[in-house]
Amino acid sequence: MNLKSKTIARIISLFKLTEPQSWCRISSADILSVPDVGKTTLNKIRLYLAEQGLNLRGDNPPAYWLETLKGRTADAPQFGVCPFTIVIDTNEGTPFEFDSIQNGEGQTIRVPTVRRPLYLSGLADYTIDGMETLVQIERKADDLYSSMSERREIFEGEIERLNSMCEFAAVVCEVPRSTIIMDNHRFGARSKSIMSTVSNWRVRFPGVHFIFADGRWDAEQECWRLLSGFWWQKQRERASETVREVVGDLFEEV
């Protein structure tokens, strides 16, 4: 596969890419920051690099792109792509599988996941590979009640740690807020006490967002949206910085 087009030639010139390995120092967001460059061009570059055992900075490994992008035909299932890997804590007994995630075109997205003992480092249940200390998602199901009563001090310590460590953290609860409000007593914790504590922690720990979802499926979707949104925000920030550096270098050369 060759990369021969005016658009790709513009990318090569802008980022001073002299050999295939030099593509590894720029990210997918860097490429998308170039005017008139879209995901079709980006995926063409991904496949070109994957065939040589390479990938863009912060992107999924070559094997992922070969499986996802190569050999697509009109009759073959079409899959969206996820440019990052989700890390799941090994303590998660029934973890989210992220097998029902869809992109804006209605295509199912193949989401790479890996299990690691995040709890050993005081981290939460879900994060992004390579961004473990930047973004953390804690998942709560029925254990929300016990966490807010019998384990309250331990859970508060976890929230405080996430607030001080991460750029963004959230507690995604599978229990709807309306269910908690209507439940006067469950697992030793009164609904009024739970909601009061949540409101108090939102003020004390503004970096940790409490989200009440409408069941497990909705919680899984929200977990994905938060992680995906954070990843793309970081890519935009890095792309903007890269463009500023490239433009600065061009002016210095003039």
Q: Domains plus CATH for the chain?
A: 6-76 (no CATH), 82-232 (3.40.50.10130)
Give yes or no for residue 76 having a pLDDT over 60: no
Which residues have C-beta within 8 Å of that of residue 79, sequence separation ≥ 6?
A: 68, 107, 108, 109, 110
Give yes or no for residue 247 having a pLDDT over 90: no
Q: Contact, 251 vs 151, CB < 8 A?
A: no
Separation of alpha carbons 150 and 157, rounded Å: 13
Separation of alpha carbons 196 and 190, rounded Å: 10
pLDDT in tens, 152-208: 999 999 999 999 999 999 999 998 888 888 875 555 567 778 889 999 999 999 999
Residue with tokens 């999924």: 60
